[in-house]
Amino acid sequence: MNYQAVIFDLDGVICFTDRYHYQAWKSMADSMGIYFDETINNRLRGVSRAESLEIILERCDKVLSAEEKQALMEQKNSTYVELLGQMTKKDLSAEVKETLDALRAKGLKLAIGSSSKNAKLILERLGLKDYFDAVSDGTNITKSKPDPEVFVKAAEFLHMAPADCLVVEDARAGVDAAKAGGFDSAGLGEAAAYEAVTYAMSSFGDLKGIV
């Protein structure tokens, strides 16, 4: 396929913020006396903040109001944002940077398609603030993955048709979102083992052989 653009998921593809998500959710859950562990954290991959909270609350006996849930999400996010302060350019792997540069040198447009409302802050921490041609993230969508909105918006920002873009994902929900929007996908990690993915990759650099 001759793709003209590549749309990258952020967390789990360009960088790895899951340990910060884990620490921040764990601190919120502990403050509420709710059991939370790494296995439950794995279910939060690629899932929105509100849906992540609902998964954590499966272990909570109390029924919470919308205001209480909002306060818990704010509590988690402020811990998370503080932890993101530890991220530096060193958290961007040489393989990812070199591959991005190689795709750009081929003339491909590059965009981000992330559920996170903190995507721009993360890109800044990684030294990628002005690197991408477009950023579609949790701040410009109303429906999260597996809805295709975040990728459809990214393609719109690039003025490209979905069929001309390849989506790179680490989550099954992201692969489903790509498919629902008419995009081919390349998967890493659990997304590579998912039958709905177009190309399975064992590492980020494999992209150079796909596009």
- The reply on whether position 181 binds ligand B16 by CB under 6 A is no
Nearer to ligand B16, 114 or 185 (CB): 114
Report residue 152 as tokens. 């459809």
Query: Residues touching Mg ion: how many (CB under 5 A)?
Result: 6
- The reply on whether position 44 binds ligand B16 by CB under 6 A is yes
- Give the SS3 label for residue 112: strand
Q: Which does 114 bind (CB under 5 to 8 A by kind): ligand B16, Mg ion, none?
A: ligand B16
Nearer to ligand B16, 19 or 106 (CB): 19
Rounded CA separation 60/1 (Å): 48
Scanning residues 82 to 141, which ones bind ligand B16 (CB under 6 A)?
A: 114-118, 138
Nearer to Mg ion, 11 or 184 (CB): 11
Handedness of CA 58, 60, 61, 67 (dihedral sign): negative
Q: Look up 18 and say whether it is catalytic.
A: no
Q: Look up 133 and say whether it is catalytic.
A: no
Give the type of residue at 91.
D
Let me know: does 114 contact 96? Beta carbons within 8 Å. Answer: no
Let me know: does 134 contact 151? Beta carbons within 8 Å. Answer: no
- The reply on whether position 187 binds ligand B16 by CB under 6 A is no
**65 class by beta-carbon count within 10 Å (0-12 exposed, 13-18 middle, 19+ buried):** exposed
Member of 22, 24, 46, 177 binding Mg ion (CB under 5 A): 46
Rounded CA separation 9/170 (Å): 8
User: CA nearest 116: which of 28, 26, 43, 52?
Assistant: 52
Annotated catalytic residue, options 9, 137, 176, 184: 9
- The reply on whether position 48 binds ligand B16 by CB under 6 A is yes
Least distance CB 170 / Mg ion (angstroms): 5
Query: Residues touching ligand B16: how many (CB under 6 A)?
Result: 19
Report residue 80 as tokens. 């998370």
Applying CB under 6 A, the residues found at the interface with ligand B16 are: 9-12, 21, 44-49, 52, 77, 114-118, 138
Applying CB under 5 A, the residues found at the interface with Mg ion are: 9, 11-12, 46, 170-171
| Residues catalogued as catalytic | 9, 11
